[in-house]
Amino acid sequence: MARLDQIPEKERLNPEAVVESIAAVGRPAFYEPDAAHIIEKLVPLLKPEDVVAIFSNGGFDGIHGSFWKS
């Protein structure tokens, strides 16, 4: 997250807690530390005709293009 240091630590989003909350209601949820790990986790789960939408506020390690192979 850009300028994370400007948000007091106790007010920052805790990704692990979000994943736990989602999983607690029976939904699959994952947290991965970077783009490479996201791709590694996501690709085996994809099925034909799936659509992946990537939202980020920056380049995010090139996840929008360089990790995807045809």
The pLDDT profile of the chain, 70 residues, written as one tens digit per residue, is 567 788 898 888 888 999 999 999 999 899 988 888 888 898 899 999 998 887 777 667 777 665 555 4
Predicted pLDDT of residue 68: 58
Predicted pLDDT of residue 60: 73
Query: What is the full DSSP assignment across 25-59?
Result: TT------SSHHHHHHHHGGG--TT-------SS-
Residue 15 Cα distances to 6, 11, 12, 50, 69, angstroms? 18, 12, 9, 24, 28
Predicted pLDDT of residue 69: 58
Residue corresponding to tokens 């530390």: 33
9 alpha carbon, distance to own chain's centre = 20
